[in-house]
Amino acid sequence: MLALTILGNNSALPAFGRNPTAQILQTQSEVYLIDCGEGTQLQMSKFKIKKSKIKHIFISHLHGDHYFGLIGLLTSMGLANRTEDVHLHGPSRLIEIINLQLEVANAHLPYKLYFHPLAEEGIIADTATITVESFKVKHRIECWGFIFREKKNKRSILPDRANAYGIPSAFYEQLQKGMDYQNAKGTIIPNAEVTIEAAAAKSYAYCADTIFDIELASKIQGVDLLYHETTYLHALEERAAARFHSTTKQAAEIAKAGNVKKLLIGHFSSKYETLEEFLTEATSVFENTDLALEGACYPL
Amino acid sequence: MLALTILGNNSALPAFGRNPTAQILQTQSEVYLIDCGEGTQLQMSKFKIKKSKIKHIFISHLHGDHYFGLIGLLTSMGLANRTEDVHLHGPSRLIEIINLQLEVANAHLPYKLYFHPLAEEGIIADTATITVESFKVKHRIECWGFIFREKKNKRSILPDRANAYGIPSAFYEQLQKGMDYQNAKGTIIPNAEVTIEAAAAKSYAYCADTIFDIELASKIQGVDLLYHETTYLHALEERAAARFHSTTKQAAEIAKAGNVKKLLIGHFSSKYETLEEFLTEATSVFENTDLALEGACYPL
Query: Contact A63/B96, CB-based, under 8 Å?
Result: no
Does B136 lie in the same domain as B10? Answer: yes
Does A111 lie in the same domain as A168? Answer: no
For residue A39, what is the nearest residue in chain B, using CA coordinates?
B39
Query: Contact B76/A12, CB-based, under 8 Å?
Result: yes
Does A134 lie in the same domain as A96? Answer: yes
Q: What pLDDT sits at residue B153?
A: 79
Q: What pLDDT sits at residue B198?
A: 82
Low-confidence ranges of chain B (pLDDT < 70): none
Does A209 lie in the same domain as A98? Answer: yes
Bridge partners (DSSP) of residue B95 are none
Between CA A58 and CA A64, with CA A61 as vertex, the angle to 5 degrees is 105
| B255 neighbors B225 (Cβ within 8 angstroms) | no
Give the CATH number of the domain where residue B41 resides: 3.60.15.10
Q: Which chain B residues are closer than 8 Å to A45 by Cβ?
A: 14-15
CA distance B161 to chain A (A): 50
Does B22 lie in the same domain as B133? Answer: yes
Does B243 lie in the same domain as B189? Answer: no
Choose the final residue of a domain: B144, B171, B196.
B196
Does A176 lie in the same domain as A248? Answer: no
- Dist. CA A245–CA A233, nearest whole Å: 11
Q: What pLDDT sits at residue B48?
A: 93
Q: Which of A41, A93, A104 lies closest to B62 in CB terms?
A: A104
Q: Does A100 touch chain B (CB under 8 A)?
A: yes
Q: Does A62 touch chain B (CB under 8 A)?
A: yes
Characterize the bridge pairing of strands B203-206 and B143-150. Answer: antiparallel
Residues B11-21: pLDDT tens digits? 988 889 899 99
Q: Does B141 touch chain A (CB under 8 A)?
A: yes
**pLDDT, tens digit only, all 300 positions of chain A:** 899 999 999 998 888 989 999 999 999 889 999 999 999 999 999 999 999 999 999 999 999 999 999 999 999 999 999 999 999 999 999 999 999 999 999 999 999 999 999 999 999 999 989 999 999 999 999 999 999 999 987 888 999 999 999 999 999 999 998 999 999 899 999 999 999 988 889 999 999 899 999 999 999 999 999 999 999 999 999 999 999 999 999 999 999 999 999 999 999 999 999 999 999 999 999 999 999 999 999 999
What is the number of domains present in chain A?
A: 2
Share of chain A above pLDDT 90, in %: 91
Q: Which chain A residues are closer than 8 Å to B68 by Cβ?
A: 38, 68, 71-72, 101
| B178 neighbors B191 (Cβ within 8 angstroms) | yes
Choose the final residue of a domain: A196, A227, A254.
A196
Active site residues per annotation of B: 65
| A117 neighbors A95 (Cβ within 8 angstroms) | yes
| Domain interval for residue B38 | 3-153+199-299
Choose the final residue of a domain: B145, B177, B196.
B196
Does A295 lie in the same domain as A231? Answer: yes
| A88 neighbors A124 (Cβ within 8 angstroms) | no
Q: What pLDDT sits at residue A275?
A: 96
Does A119 lie in the same domain as A107? Answer: yes
Q: Which chain B residues are closer than 8 Å to A75 by Cβ?
A: 12, 64
Q: What pLDDT sits at residue A67?
A: 98
Tell which of A42, A49, A102 to mutate to test the B interface (max B CBs under 10 Å): A42
Residues in chain A: 300
How many A×B Cβ pairs under 8 Å?
A: 97
Does A187 lie in the same domain as A40? Answer: no
Residue type, A73: L
Does B184 lie in the same domain as B47? Answer: no
Does B162 lie in the same domain as B208? Answer: no
**What pTM was estimated for this model as a whole?**
0.87
Bridge partners (DSSP) of residue A76 are none
Q: Does A80 touch chain B (CB under 8 A)?
A: yes
ipTM score for this prediction: 0.83
Q: What pLDDT sits at residue A12?
A: 86
Would you call B56 exposed, middle or buried from its count of C-beta atoms within 10 A (0-12, 13-18, 19+)?
buried
SS3 content of chain A, % helix, strand, coil (to 5): 30, 30, 45
